[in-house]
Structure 1
Amino acid sequence: MPVLSFAPLLHGDYLAWLLAGLRLSLLLTGLTLLTALPLAIAVALLRLSPWAPLRAAGEGYVEAVRCVPLLVHMLFWYFGVPELLPAGIKAAVYAGDIEIFSAWAALTLYTAAYMSEDIRSGVRAVPGAQLDAARALGFSHLAALRLIVLPQALRITLPPLLSQTLNLWKNTSIATVIGAAELMTQAQRVESASFRGFETFALVTVAYLSVSLVLTVLAHWAQRVGSPQGARR
């Protein structure tokens, strides 16, 4: 029976590879949040628009994205989209960090579709009388949503948005299929070089679990603060 030892993985190149993968996974999570949240707000507002064509556009986006697996989104952005570019540009794109940008694009579109539904629910939870009062005071429909309704809706939806962030963090692991050097890709690299599969993936499990637990604690905290009882404290 082989002797288990984590020591070889906790220094030198192996540790550097795992830390580099962890940093990229966290970077993908952060970058995706920065781009997915504004897109999710825009899509939610489209779905709440009084004009049918805008509502249809928002609904079409959400259904088109949610009905396709994230794996397919990753492969589409990595293999499909560059084929539409001229040959010279395509060669330059593949010579760069296309894996990271493809993963970022796929994660952004995918995450925004789910976040938009949470935000839409939050907007609908704000009493409609507030929107009517804002319109009576002279605000346009969009200004009333942006200045009066949306800030309250975001506070209401903070816990589910943090839950979506947890899903996003875990979904970054799928970027390994297109060769992005995130945590799972680096773990496979370490395992192939060290022949220590159990130890490698045990460390990766701890890394994913640790970040996930932090996000879970934040979600519970946000839920307490966002509740009526927590808001009065």
Structure 2
Amino acid sequence: MFSSVHQLLSGSYLHQFQTGMLITVELFVLCWVVGMALGIALTVLRAASVTVGTWIVSAFVAYHRSVPTIVQILVWYFGVPQLLPDTWQQFINDHNAQFMFAAIALSLNSAAYISEDLRSGFRTLPHTQQEAARALGLTYLQSMRLVIVPQAIRAAMPALVGQTLSLFKTTSLAMAIGVAEVMYIARQIEGETYATFGCYLIATAIYLVGTSLIAVGGGAIQRNLQHSTQR
């Protein structure tokens, strides 16, 4: 068993795992950044209490929370391109369509959950915060950007760290459409070598290291926020 792991961690197989790990990190970082930005935008739109905006955000969140993530990825990869002109389809296929559609699906899915986490953070804040910000002459968007959203993020930090961990693990679903991330590489090598346990042991170790780093980093951020609040 351990001899097979040693063989997998040398030569071309090691390079393949390193490439897969890099793609996993790239996909995770991209989806986290886009998901966080969209999540904040959705939360601000819903907080504006505009009926149409509230309906749109509610429908968006309901879809992404009710439909399995793997189905969302497959819909984007196999379904959405059929609605596009042929020239667009050709352009997308020439520019790593698998990674692109996986990133879109995971980003939108993450945005839905992040918006709900931030919404919970909003509820912990007294209504007088926004009233005070508006009384100082700030517009709605300025009060959200400078006063409300930073406090909501701080209040929702434990949930946001949990969502970040979930997103990192969920990137493994991108293998379903051929994105060469860690799990895809593990399956490819397992098919060549039949070293099933060794391949998935290495993949497990990679995810354990990644989630541990995220958990440690998230914990450090939470402690710093608590210290800054107490000062």
- TM over 0.5: same fold? yes
Whole-angstrom distance in 2 between the partners of 1:134 and 1:143 = 9
- The answer (yes or no) to whether the contact 1:40–1:113 under 8 Å persists in 2 is yes
104-113 or 120-129, which deviates more = 120-129
Q: C-alpha deviations, 1:135-169, integer Å up to 9, x for none?
A: 22222222212221112212222232121110000
Match of 2:37?
38
Match of 1:166?
165
Letter of the 2:61 counterpart: V
Whole-angstrom distance in 2 between the partners of 1:65 and 1:55 = 16
Whole-angstrom distance in 1 between the partners of 2:101 and 2:50 = 33
Whole-angstrom distance in 2 between the partners of 1:173 and 1:85 = 27
Give the 4+ runs in structure 1 shifted more than 6 A.
none
TM-score, normalised to structure 2, is 0.93
Whole-angstrom distance in 1 between the partners of 2:150 and 2:73 = 32
- The answer (yes or no) to whether the contact 1:126–1:153 under 8 Å persists in 2 is yes
- The answer (yes or no) to whether the contact 1:160–1:219 under 8 Å persists in 2 is no
- The answer (yes or no) to whether the contact 2:2–2:198 under 8 Å persists in 1 is no
Q: C-alpha deviations, 1:193-229, integer Å up to 9, x for none?
A: 12211111101101101111111222333333333x6
Letter of the 1:39 counterpart: L
Letter of the 1:231 counterpart: T
Match of 2:56?
57
Match of 1:23?
22
Match of 1:150?
149
Match of 1:80?
79
Whole-angstrom distance in 1 between the partners of 2:220 and 2:100 = 32
- The answer (yes or no) to whether the contact 1:31–1:104 under 8 Å persists in 2 is yes
TM-score, normalised to structure 1, is 0.92
Runs of 5+ unmatched residues, structure 2:
none
Q: CA deviation at 1:231?
A: 3.3
Map 1:4-15 to 2 at 5 A.
Answer: 4-15=3-14
Whole-angstrom distance in 1 between the partners of 2:138 and 2:37 = 22
